[in-house]
Copies of this chain bind each other. A is one copy, B any other.
Amino acid sequence: MKVGFMGLGQMGRGMAGRLLDGGHELLVYNRTAAAAAPLQLRGARVAAAPLELLDTEVIISMLADDAAVESMCIAPGLIAGMQAGSLHVNMATVSLHMAKRLTQLHREAGSDYVAAPVFGRPAAAEKGQLDIIAGGAPAALMRCEPLFAAMGKHVFIAGDEPATANIVKIARNYMLAAAVESMGEAFALVRKSGVDVKAFYELVTTTSFSGTSYRNYGKLMVERNFDNASFTLRLGLKDVELALAAGGETQVPLPLAGVIREQHLGALNRGLGDKDWASLADYIAERAGLS
């Protein structure tokens, strides 16, 4: 397929590479052109401006946040310029508000829109092992199949409305935030009574908390391995704020979210913003008088 791809960050690069491997014809765009070079060597063409992507069948975007979508997709007239029947697949994590706005803009343009945020780290993106959450009209989703097959190992259909995929992503990430915070609190509680945290970690992750969320973040907490962050505390905060914004937008009280956000703000003031999300446990421990 002739694919336009916008946003070549850590995730986007891997995903675009998989599309090339899958035999798709790629026209890529990135704000800073250097990121496109390795893909160009592998056969991708490089666009000089977002609007050049209009000359493809499908535009995939993998941009950092709402502001990037605003400035690269909406402001330059990319969406407004899409032809009836053309398709935009937005695989980034955006707010529920932006998700609904994009749906509306595409409706007005007559173009198709699929939201398809992903779970997985850059390494998984490179190997085509992402979990993809997709929302959109069935026909549009069907057109995405070969692309999703190249990039992901599993596709989860959230609903006919694109925004359903975004809310699923947001809600699951919020569960993760609660898991990180509550595990951090539990660790502080047992440590303060003289229990070895590693032993506690083993107990809970070999019994009822055996999922990777607890295993992975708990391990980092036990080892205090926060410097090579694959997901920073600051990004964790962003996810909590997306949940709060979605709750505000749809009038769903999320009592834990408010508390978790404030905890993150305190942690930022202790210099943990660029450390691994698991370092929240250090802030929790510090508040508990543990060093």
Contact = CB atoms under 8 A, between A and B. Distances in A.
Interface of A: 96, 119, 131, 133, 156-159, 161, 163-164, 167-168, 170-172, 174-176, 178-179, 181-183, 185-190, 192-196, 199-200, 203-205, 207-214, 241, 243-244, 246-248, 250-263, 265-266, 268-269, 284, 287-289
A24 B163 CA distance: 51
Contact of A174 (B185, B207, B211, B246): B185
A287 B210 CA distance: 30
A255 B250 contact: no
Given A250-B193, A252-B265, A252-B288, A203 B172 contact: yes
A251 to B, nearest CB: 5
Contact of A266 (B167, B182, B205, B253): B253
Given A193-B167, A255-B255, A265-B248, A182 B186 contact: no
A75 to B, nearest CB: 12
A263 B259 contact: no
Oligomer copy total: 4
Contact of A288 (B158, B192, B269): B269
Given A158-B195, A241-B248, A261-B258, A172 B212 contact: no
Nearest to A173: B186
Given A158-B195, A179-B209, A248-B265, 10 more contacts: A170-B189, A171-B200, A175-B182, A181-B255, A185-B256, A192-B250, A210-B212, A252-B265, A258-B262, A265-B288
